[in-house]
Homo-oligomer: A and B are copies of this chain.
Amino acid sequence: MIAPLLAHIQKYTSLTLDEQTIIEQNVKCITLAKKDYLFSEGDLCNAQYFVMEGCLRMFFIKNSGVEQIVQFGIDNWWISDYTSLTLNTPSLFYLQAVQLCKIAVLKKDKQDELFLQIPKMEHYFRSIYQRAYAAAQTRQVYFSDLSGREKYEHFANSFPDFVQRIPQYMLASYLGLTPEFISKIRAKK
């Protein structure tokens, strides 16, 4: 069932029952176990993923060999490698389940078909991408203005419940810090 996705779309535009059916026909619904991958470095990423339940992480491997998480996918967020998706280039990223997940998968060709059958879907995705880009701009402010300690505290204050759900070392990776350093921040609070 893709009810959460339909509900999300209807925050941006109304859908008839027929349209809901069409969407349902073009979206595949899957369940992921912890540590399952949706794609890996070198793959062509030809779909977008809507998280209905659980948590994904998108990361790449730095030159140093260390994993760098660039984004978490949580409830009601779309996540994908948009460079690979848009330009048909091999992805630099891995997209992996952090925990048990329910995901709606929208393949690129199915999306194109949706745009033809339901023009309103262009409006929906235009709005979604606009917000995603806005969020990326805001993130840049926090990442370039805050010290390591401040980034940690800002994130922990902004998403107190989420911080509980993921291992410390993933948070460190997302914030661009080492697990050791996070540990020291927590020690002398």
Contacts and interface: CB of A to CB of B under 8 A. Distances in A.
B126 A83 contact: no
A133 to B, nearest CB: 5
A130 B86 contact: yes
A24 to B, nearest CB: 22
Interface in A43-62: 60, 62
Interface residues of A, number: 34
Contacts of A83: 134-135, 137-138
Nearest to A150: B63
Contacts of A130: 82, 86, 125, 129
A36 to B, nearest CB: 22
Contact of A140 (B70, B87, B132): B70
Interface string A76-102: 000001110111000010000000000
A136 B136 contact: yes
B82 A145 contact: no
B62 A144 contact: yes
Interface stretch (A14-22, A27-35, A115-123, A155-163): A115-123
